[in-house]
A and B are shown apart, each in its own frame.
Chain A
Amino acid sequence: MPTDPALRNEVARLARQAGAAGVSRRRFLGGAGLAALAVAAPGLVGCGTQGARQTADSCVSEDLSATERTLHFSNWPLYIDEEEIRRGGQRVTVFPTLERFQAESGITVDYVADVNSNAEFFGVVRNQLADCQPTGRDLFVLTDYMARRMVELGWLQALDMSRMPNVEANLVDSLRSPSWDADRTYSVPWQTGLTGIAYNAKLTGEVSSFEELLTRADLKGKVSLLSEMQDTMIFMLLMTGADPENFNDDEFETALERLKEVTASGQIRRFTGNEYAQDLSKGNIVACEAWSGDVIQLQFDNPDIKFVAPTEGLSLWSDNLLVPNRATHKSNAEDLINFYYQPDVAAELAAWVNYICPVKGAQEAMLEIDPELAENELIFPSDELLANSHGFMSMDQATERRYQQLFSEVVGG
C-alpha cells in the first residue's frame, strides 16, 4: 500500500470506482438482456403461427429461364452417374450425363448433393416455403410421402407436360398416376426402388419372408429394420393381414403391436437409415430390410449379399423431381427432366445408380452399356414382380402425425 495519503486516497477512489463500474456493468448487461427480451417477447410470443399452406394465387413464382440459363439442382448423394477424370492436372469428379445436358442446352447446372433424408430436407426448406420465400433451389428430389406433403401444402409449381414430350412418351405406365398426384402435375419420378429383404449368404441361409426375419431364432439380435415409418409399416401391415394401401386405425395398431413385440424381445437390433449397408457387409447384422439399389451397389464388393422379394410382397416407392415455389428457373428444370427421359440417358444413369429406371426403352438401351444389368430384375423389374408390390396409404396430416408418433414410440424417440 502506498504511504503517501493522497496517493492512498486516489487508489481507494479508483478501486471504489472500479467496483462500482463492475456492479453497474453487470446490472447494465442484465438490464440490456431483460430489455431485449421485453421488446422481443411480445412480438414473438403473442401471435402463434400462420398456416403454411400456399396456393397458386397466394404464392406466385416468376420464371427467368429465358434470360438466366442456370439451374440449382439438389439431389441425394450418389444418385447420379459419376466419373473421376483428370482435368488441368487435378482429379475431379464429373457427372457425364449432366455434362452432356449442359453442353446441349447451354444451361449451367449447379448440382448439389445435399438431400440426406426426407425429414431433414423438409426441415431445411420448411420456413422459406411456408412463407413463400425462395429456397435457392429450382429442383429437388424427394420420396413419395414427402412429395405428397409438399403437394398438399401447395409448395410446388405445376410442371408443363407439353414442354416434356419425353416424359409424356416414356414414363412407365405403373408410375403415371400416383394417388397423391394423379396427373403428375407437380412431380416426375427420378428413380424408383423396391424395399425388401437383404441378407448375407455367408452368415445365414436364405431369408425369404418378413415372418422369418422377425421370428427365426438364429437371427435374433442380428436383424435391422428401416426407421422410416412407411417403409417398415407396409410389411408389418401385410404380415398382420391388412392392406397397406387401405387400412384403419385398429389394423395399424395391431401391426404396430407386432413390431413392438419383436423389438422388445430383442429380435430387432436397430432401426436404421442408409447405415444398414455398413452393418450388413461387416456382419454386425446378417439380414435386414433394405433398398434395392443399395444392395446392388453392395453386391459389387460383396457377392454374398442377396436381395429377396419377401413372400409377403414388396414395397415400391419413387423419388420425385419437384420444382418448389419461387424457383425462378422452372423451364430450365423442365428441360433437364425432359433430357433425362431419353432412354439412352436414363440407361446410363441407371447403370450407375442401380435403382429402378422409370423410363420405357431404357432396358433396350442398357443392353449396349451392360447386358447383365439389363437383365437385372431390381433395375428392370418384371410385371409379375411389380404386381406384388405395394405403396402406403395416403392420409391427412393429422393422421400421419398420429401414426408417426405411435411408430416413434417403438423405434425410440
Chain B
Amino acid sequence: MSAVVGGLTDAARGTATTPTPTPISRRKLTGYFLLLPALAWLAIFFAVPSVQLMATSLYDRSGSLEYGYEMTFAVGNYPAAWTAYATQFGRSFMYAGIATVLAIFLAYPLAYAIAFRAGRFKHLMLVLVIAPFFTSFLVRTLAWNSILADNGFVVGSLKTIGILPEDGRLLASSVAVVAGLTYNFLPFMVLPLYASLEKIDLRLVEAARDLYANGFTAFRKVTLPLSLPGLVAGTLLTFIPASGDYINSQLLGTPKQAMIGNVIDRNFLVILDYPMAAACSVTLMVAIVTMVLFYVRRSGAEELL
C-alpha cells in the first residue's frame, strides 16, 4: 500500500514521467495469491464434482453400480429425464416461484421495519430473524406438521370461517409445501433486503417529500429502486435453494407434491440410476442459471454477478 502511495506522491511531484510498473504488478499478484485458497476450494468442491456429474449424466444407463458404467456420451439421458419428470420440474419451479413471491411480500415490510422503525429493538429483531437457524432444518419443517395438524388450531379456525371445507386439510397438500418453503427460506430474503434498506440515506426520501412526492411515490421512486440489489439478492437466495429442495415436499406433501429434488434423491439413493439422477441435476442447474441470468439482466442488477 505504501508503495502505491509513494508512487502517487512521486507522480504528484511530476518526477515520474516514465513510471515503473513494479508496485502495481506486485499488488496485482497479491490479489491472485489471495484468490488461491478460494480458487482451490472452488476447483475441488465445485468444478471437479460438476464435471463428474456431467460425465455421469452421459454414462450408458444400462450399466450398474455392480458392473460399472460405460462412457457412451448418451445424450439421450437428457430427453429421457425431461419426458419422465416434466411435471416434477415444472412443479419445483412453480412452488419455488410462489414461495419467493410470498417471501418478498412478507420480508419487505419486515426488513423495512427493522431498518427504519425498530429503534433500539433493531438488533433484537435481527437476532429473531436468524434465530430459527439455531435449530435444524428438519426440525423446523416438522414443526409445520404440528402447526397445520388436521385437529390443530389453524385448520380448525379456517373450517369455522368456512375457508376450508369440513373434510378439508392443509397438511399433505401444496399449501403446506409452499408454506414450508416460504418459511424456511424467509431469512434469506429478509437479510439482504435489510442490508440494502439500511444503507439508504433517508435524506433522499425527505428530499422526495419536499418535492411534493406523496409517501407512496417517494417509496416507488426512491426507496424501492435503492433497495433493488437486496431484493434481487434475496430473490436468488430464496428461489435457488427452494427449487432444489426436497425436504418440504417429503415431510409436508404427498406424491402429488413431489418436486425434482425428490426425484433426484430417489434416483441416486433408492433406484440407483446414477445417469438419470445426474441428468436431472445438471438440467436443474442449467435451468436455474439460465433463469437467474435472465432475471438479473432484466432487473438491471448485473453488479451482483
Contacts and interface: CB of A to CB of B under 8 A. Distances in A.
B31 A25 contact: yes
A91 interface: no
A40 B48 contact: yes
B262 interface: yes
Contacts of B8: 10, 14
Given A10-B8, A36-B43, A46 B71 contact: yes
B120 interface: no
Contact of A123 (B14, B60, B256, B268): B268
A404 B271 contact: yes
B51 A49 contact: no
A308 interface: no
- The A interface, classified by DSSP as helix, strand, loop or mixed, is helix
Contacts of A171: none
Contact of B66 (A45, A152, A284, A405): A152
Contacts of B262: 412-413
Interface string A281-316: 011100000000000000000000000000000000
Contact of A4 (B12, B48, B88, B256): B12
Nearest to B71: A48
Contacts of B149: 282-284
A123 B68 CA distance: 16
A338 B41 CA distance: 46
Interface string A16-29: 01000100010011
B143 to A, nearest CB: 11
Contact of A7 (B12, B63, B169): B12
A269 B145 CA distance: 14
A17 B7 CA distance: 14
Contacts of B26: none
B152 to A, nearest CB: 8
A282 B48 CA distance: 46
Contacts of A153: 65-66
A50 B67 CA distance: 7
Interface string A132-151: 00000000000000000000
Given A40-B51, A51-B67, A270-B172, A412 B24 contact: no
A263 B269 CA distance: 23
B172 A52 contact: no
A202 B12 CA distance: 89
A122 B145 CA distance: 28
B119 interface: no
A60 interface: no
Interface centre among B31, B64, B70 (most CB of A within 10 A): B64
B245 interface: no
A32 B38 CA distance: 13
Interface stretch (A271-279, A374-382, A387-395): A271-279
Interface in B135-172: 142, 145-146, 149-151, 167, 169, 171-172
A401 B254 contact: no
A6 interface: yes
Contacts of A40: 43, 47-48, 51
A37 to B, nearest CB: 6
A397 interface: yes
A36 B51 CA distance: 11
A215 to B, nearest CB: 18
B69 interface: yes
B263 interface: yes
A401 B271 CA distance: 5
A28 B32 contact: yes
Contacts of B70: 48
Contacts of B263: 413
A69 interface: no
A53 interface: yes
A126 interface: yes
A47 interface: yes
Contacts of B32: 28
A106 interface: no
A410 interface: yes
B19 interface: yes
Nearest to B31: A25
A408 B48 contact: no
A48 B172 CA distance: 40
Interface string A229-269: 10000000000000000000000000000000001000001
A408 B271 contact: yes
A49 B68 contact: yes
A22 B60 CA distance: 43
B169 A221 contact: yes
Given A40-B48, A408-B266, A412-B262, A126 B65 contact: yes
A41 interface: yes
A398 B64 contact: yes
B240 interface: no
A130 B65 CA distance: 8
23 contacts: A6-B14, A7-B14, A10-B11, A10-B16, A44-B52, A45-B55, A48-B63, A48-B69, A48-B70, A51-B66, A126-B65, A263-B255, A269-B172, A282-B145, A283-B151, A397-B272, A401-B64, A401-B272, A401-B273, A408-B271, A413-B246, A413-B255, A413-B265
